[in-house]
Amino acid sequence: MEFEGSNKQVVKNILFNGLNFLVSIINGLLITPLIFTKLGKEPFVIIQLTISISMYATLFANSLNESLSLILVLKKELSKNIIYSSATFIYLILVLSFIPFIFVIVYYSEFIFSISETYIYDSKILLALNLFSFTIIILTNYLTTPIYINNRVDTCQQIITSRNVIRTILILGAIYFVSNSLIYIGYAYLASAISLLIVAYFIFRKALPDVFISYKYVKKEVTKNLVNLGSWSLIFQLGVLVFSYGDIIIASILLDNNSTADFTALIQWRILVYSLVGLLLQVFHPIFLKLINNSEDEKIKKLFLKGLRYLGILATICCAVIFVYSETILFYWLGTEYLYLDSMLKLIIFSWGINCAFTIYKSLYLIYNKIREIAIISIIFALSHILISCTLIIVFKFDIYSIIVSSVSLLLIRNIFVYPYFSTSFTTIKVREILREILKFIFVFFTVIVLYDLLNYYTENVLSLFNAFFQAIILGGLTIISCYFTVLNKVERLLIKSKLQKWILK
């Protein structure tokens, strides 16, 4: 299977990523208020908590997938039978060692987390089902590795989109037609994961019809390389997940259910923005792998800076819109009684808008085989986050804002100071070039806020859906015009102008 690098393929990747993002919006924003209404706050917290634990539990297998991608690109002289057989052997060992861990976590869950007696049994079953379903999802990603590294992100996204659609339909069906029990939501997760595993297997066989997986092809050297690369990737992802999902676990242990439920609900918007940026990042990552395979360092530099800018602009525009319409969003999403969460949502979104674009650093460090360095940085800041958050809550008796402030402060220090300066040690990228791109998307964020404030002089009643929609259209147009003249360089402006001229002449 050859690498597909045409512009047409890139456009297809972006389109299918966009489709998956729309499905994620429907899934995240529809299911959250539904569970709040039908099941209550505590069941919602339990669901999000089990998902968070499941994400940690699948770190090992996810790390293996990343190391497999890198070896497939950099070790083309090796037989694919050897690579895939060795990877499968390691994965099976992980799954077998993972089963006792599942039973221990499930059995002691009520002693670790704050769960009322009413939901103890259901939460145990839900946690077990989610752990197994997330393990299957990682196996699905493993099977789609050959098409992903060849830039067929569109096919990967079709699989993910299908899984999300099936899961949403099953959850809605379970709540409305079967039972409000948490167990049936777990069945929905498991059923959607199994159905997509079957699809992924057939895609794998179609992409690699000649690959034969057998124990006789397992090579010690290959398994050692996979484990070494995967170990540091594991540490890196552990650090990332502390910031992404660890907040929920800290809150559920140290704070009451109401505070945790409020915070967990708002986190859905942060996850939504992260998903949007991650989808665009998936378009860049296979191209990075192709460029490093051809030792095209200058092109990697240009792609990285361009990716940082585009990811930053995308994230900041999305976050700025959520920031300025936070009250309207809460009013129509959860109801009038949750408008008190306005300031908390603003703080969460503001920090994430600035920090979200830096996920592209992972691709840069990975292709230059610097995953150990970024892993050490990641875990240091993650442990610092846990220590600061717990200290503020336990010693100083602060509320949920202590977790948010800790996360915001540490992410800004890591992303704006530590990552840029360290990346200059192994690339030709200069710190001032990175800071210039950062300033561009920070400028975009505040541009949206200023334009929104100006529009407020001409429209009233922000909670009116019509006025909010009217404002959003004008705000979007003014933001695009502002970005065109201030953020894009001359070459990019000329490219857009020529594309528009061709489209108009048609």
User: Could you report the per-residue pLDDT of 104-124, keeping only the tens digit for each?
Assistant: 777 777 776 667 777 788 888
Distance of CA 407 to the CA centre of its chain: 16
Pair of tokens at residue 432 = 């001032």
More confident residue, 347 or 13: 347
Distance CA 311, CA 359 (A): 9
Q: What is the pLDDT of residue 14?
A: 58
Q: Among 316, 325, 389, which residue's Cα sits nearest to residue 353?
A: 316
> What number is the average pLDDT over the span 64-68?
71
Mean pLDDT for 48-68 is 69
Q: What is the mean pLDDT of the chain?
A: 76
Q: What percent of the chain has pLDDT over 90?
A: 1
Q: Is the torsion defined by CA of 373, 375, 378, 381 positive or negative?
A: negative
Helix axes 257-293, 342-355, angle to 10 degrees: 10
17-31, 312-326, 423-437: which range is least confident on average? 17-31
Task: For residue 411, give the nearest of 465, 366, 347 by alpha carbon.
Answer: 347
Per the CB < 8 A criterion, the answer to whether 68 and 87 are in contact is: yes
Of 21 and 110, the one with more pLDDT? 110
Tell me what percent of the residues of the chain surpass a pLDDT of 70.
78
Tokens of 226: 């996979």
pLDDT-derived band at 224, boundaries 50, 70, 90: confident
Buried b (16+ CB within 10 A) or exposed e, 348-384: bbbbbbbbbbbbbbbbbbbbbebbbbbbebbbebbeb
Is the pLDDT confidence value at 352 over 80? no
Of residues 299 and 282, more confidently modeled: 299
Band (pLDDT 50/70/90 cuts) for residue 140 is confident
pLDDT digits (tens, 9 = 90+) for 175-223: 888 777 788 888 888 888 888 888 888 877 777 777 787 888 888 887 8
In the prediction, which pLDDT does 2 show? 43
Average pLDDT value for residue range 65-72: 71
SS3 for 159-181 is HHHHHHHHHHHHHHHHHHHHCCC
Write the pLDDT tens digit of every residue in 402-454.
Answer: 888 888 888 888 888 888 888 888 888 888 888 888 888 788 778 877 777 77
Please report, for residues 42, 114, 214, 282, the alpha-carbon distance to residue 196 in angstroms, rounded to integers and kept in the order given: 30, 33, 24, 19
Token pair belonging to 57: 């539990």
Q: Alpha-carbon distance 10 to 310, whole Å?
A: 15
Q: Do 344 and 393 contact (CB within 8 A), yes or no?
A: no
Taking the alpha carbons of 421, 426, 429, 434 in that order, is the dihedral positive or negative?
negative
In this prediction, residue 1 carries a pLDDT of 46
The answer to whether the CB of 400 falls within 8 A of the CB of 263 is yes
Report pTM: 0.72
What's the CA gap between 184 and 125, in Å, rounded?
A: 10
Q: Which of 202, 92, 191, 206 is nearest to 137 (CA)?
A: 191
DSSP label at 309? H
User: How far apart, in Å, are the Cα atoms of 66 and each of 56, 148, 203?
Assistant: 16, 11, 19
Q: 254: which residues sit within 8 A by CB, 6+ positions away?
A: 390, 393, 394
